Structure 1
Amino acid sequence: MSITRIAFYHIETVLWIARLGTFGAAAERLKTTQPAISARVKELEHHLGTRLFRREGRSMTLTPAGRQLVRESEPLMARFMGIFQTTGEGTEAHGIVRIGAGEIAAASCLPGFVAGLQRDFPNVSLEIEIALTADLIQQILSGKTDLVFGAGRIAHPALKTRSIGTVDLQLLASPASVAAMKVGAGKDHFPIWSLSSHSPLYQIMKNAISASGMATRSVNLCNNARMMIDIVIAGNGIGIFPHSMVQRQLEDGMLVQVPGATDIAPVEFQVAIRAGETDPLIMDIFERASQLDIRAPHAA
């Protein structure tokens, strides 16, 4: 065994393959190529004199020797990363952190949160992806995102979550549409707009329109809440929207409550990271995010 030829990046590579499941995902995370990842693994296996991975379908599974290496190395790697960030030039955190969020979080607590990160971590670059919660979960599981703000309860054994509060929802339409409802057009003649069926808000919408006695034969889906708000304001239907995104439109009279609409249960929001995350910077940002209140848009 030639451990003197084993480098820090060899261990880092094995740990990321173990977390993400494929050489390709590890390559993307470490900003290198898949052949480079394969070469690192072969070098390490050669120096150790044993196989660390075996292929099962499209994923790479640890061998018994590989599992032992990961188990023993992971806490040491976390310790090293902590030392690097608190010693010498490592006092300033560096790197790229990828944050995923839905539109509701992006329109509420995210701007202040990002401003706080930029103030406290000036040498850290942020990459922010706005998408539906279902897509964000897939991104963090595949290693493409480090931390996500999601709607609804995120229940996955590979993720660690914290609640950051709830957002109120309202069934709304334009004043012209509501006026038409009152003179006999009826709510059933107006199309209903909702986020994608993969969104937690979709089932909430289905329950809300059922409780309000509206027919569901004309339900239109859109993956952009801002676009739906504009469509409903233009008099083209009814939508269920978070209060935080339509407060100004309600105050200006551009949107009003649909007559006869029942109260809608608020939707919970959570922040999530991978359960096996050990990077001190990501852990620090997660703890900061866990202290947020989704109802407080300007907290930094």
Structure 2
Amino acid sequence: MNRIAFYHLETLLWISRLGTFGAAADRLNASQPTISARIRELEGQVGFPLFQREGRNMMLTVRGREFVQQCEMLWTTLQQTLLSPDEFRGASGIVRVGSGEIAAASCLPVFTNAIRGSMPKISLEIEINLTAHLIDDLLSGRVDMVFAIGPIAMPGIVASTIQQVDLVWLASRELGERLIEKGGGIGSAVPLWSVARSSPMHDLMATMIRKSSFQHPQVHTCNNVRSLIDIVESGGGVGLFPLNMVEEKIAAGSLVKLDEEVPAPILLQSAMRSNEHDPIISELFRRSCEIAYA
């Protein structure tokens, strides 16, 4: 009987998913020579080459692609057999989660606390990033699931809405009082601040400006929402913010809401790859959907 170990199959499947030996080595916390050695051992056991070199890249052979397809089904069945739903509490491993700042301020804490209680042996590695980067990281396999502004709708990803967040126009107390005295309009002379242009929030602000009576020839940007809040709070201008991140400052009076039209509430969604075969990640995604409006 061929001596094929679990790590042989796991290595092959991650190379197939991520596209390179180096990416699989990073995902499995192994060196690239170790990954190459595992594939040579696996090829020796199956009796045919799984990869062929094309230029500087290693590509699956015809038989290699068929073997990967068979192994995907086998791997899924094997993991589901070894880890039934009742055993997720004992599941262990490292799950990489990407999150946007707005999600990190609301649904992410609820999720992490729930997982800590129900799956205590799972270690979460969380990275905060912009939505566009989060989607790229998810598709490339650098993270296993994400929390981001939606709607997330693209091939290869399944997403679920877990929360809606209202948006508000804000200014510092001093600037806000002056604007209110003048009738409440923002006016083109007031500095306008937005999150980075690659964020869906920037598109929402741009749409509202086009619909409004005032015109801003220049919109300043900052890729960190909390720093953006600090800038506006210090009197640096006006910005459009998610209410869940500024409620305390509004209550304290350091930020003032302006009577301007706002976009519809933004959607916060969790997402994973639609072809995800790891039952732990699928279970975590399912549980993220259950924290909706918690």
Q: Structure 1 residues 62, 193: CA separation in 2 closer, same or farther (over 3 Å shift)?
A: same
Q: List runs of 5+ in structure 1 lacking aligned partners.
A: none
Deviation at 1:71, TM superposition (A): 1.4
Q: CA deviation at 1:220?
A: 1.2
What does residue 229 of structure 1 align with?
Answer: 229
| Per-residue Cα deviation, 1:101-142 (whole angstroms, up to 9, x for no partner) | 111111111112101101111111111111111111122222
- Contact 1:14–1:41 (CA<8 Å) still a contact in 2? yes
Contact 1:205 1:240 in 2 (8 A): yes
Aligned pairs for 1:90-101 (under 5 A) are 92-101=90-99
Q: Is the 2:101–2:128 contact (alpha carbons within 8 Å) kept by the matching residues of 1?
A: yes
**Aligned residue number for residue 240 of structure 1:** 240
**Distance of 1:246 and 1:218 partners within structure 2:** 24
SS at match of 2:2: helix
Q: Does 1:167 align with 2:161?
A: no
**Aligned Cα RMSD in Å?**
2.2
Aligned to 1:108, which of 106, 109, 121?
A: 106
Residue 270 (structure 1) aligns with? 269
Map Cα deviations across residues 230-253 of structure 1 (whole Å, 9 max, x no partner).
111111111110111111222222
Aligned residue in 2 for 1:187: 187
Task: Give the alignment's TM-score, normalised by structure 2.
Answer: 0.91
Match among 19, 23, 35 for residue 21 of structure 2:
23
Task: Report the more deviating stretch, 3-12 or 33-42.
Answer: 3-12
* Residues 151-187 of structure 1, C-alpha deviations (whole Å, 9 max, x = no match): 1222332222222232211111122112333449962
Question: Share of identical aligned residues, percent?
Answer: 46
Paired with 2:195 and 2:262, the residues of 1 have a C-alpha distance of: 19
Q: Quick one: which of 67, 70, 75 aligns to 1:69?
A: 67
Identify if the C-alpha distance between structure 1 residues 169 and 51 changes in structure 2 by more than 3 Å, giving closer, same or farther: same
Shift of 1:20: 1.1
Q: Any runs of at least 4 consecutive aligned residues in structure 1 with deviations exceeding 4 A, and if so which?
A: 55-60, 183-186
State which drifts further: 265-274 or 10-19: 265-274
Query: Paired residue for 1:141?
Result: 139
- In the alignment of these two chains, the number of paired residues is 291
Query: What whole-Å deviation, never above 9, does each CA across 1:179-200 have from its counterpart, x for those lacking one?
Result: 3334499621221111111111
Q: Quote the Cα distance in structure 2 between the aligned partners of 1:237 and 1:244.
A: 20
2:188 match: secondary structure: helix
Give the SS at the match of 1:156.
coil
- The answer to whether the Cα contact below 8 Å between 1:84 and 1:90 also exists between their aligned partners in 2 is no
Counterpart amino acid of 1:4? N
CA separation of 1:7/1:222 partners in 2, compared to 1, >3 Å: closer, same or farther? same
1:291 aligns with 2:286: no
Cα separation, 2, equivalents of 1:205 and 1:59: 43
Shift of 1:66: 1.4
> Distance in 2 between the 1:175 and 1:90 partners?
50
Tell me if the contact between 1:25 and 1:142 (Cα under 8 Å) persists in the aligned partners. Answer: no
* Superposed displacement of residue 215, structure 1: 2.3
Gaps of 5+ in 2: none
Q: 1:273 to 1:55 in 2, by over 3 A?
A: farther
Read off the aligned partner of 1:158 and give its amino acid letter.
Answer: G
CA gap 1:60/1:199 in 2 versus in 1, 3 angstroms = farther
Q: Measure, in 2, the Cα distance between the counterparts of 1:28 and 1:125.
A: 17
> 1:240 aligns to what SS in structure 2?
strand
The answer to whether the 8 Å contact 1:211/1:262 transfers is: no
Deviation at 1:58, TM superposition (A): 6.5
- Cα displacement (A) at 1:46: 2.6
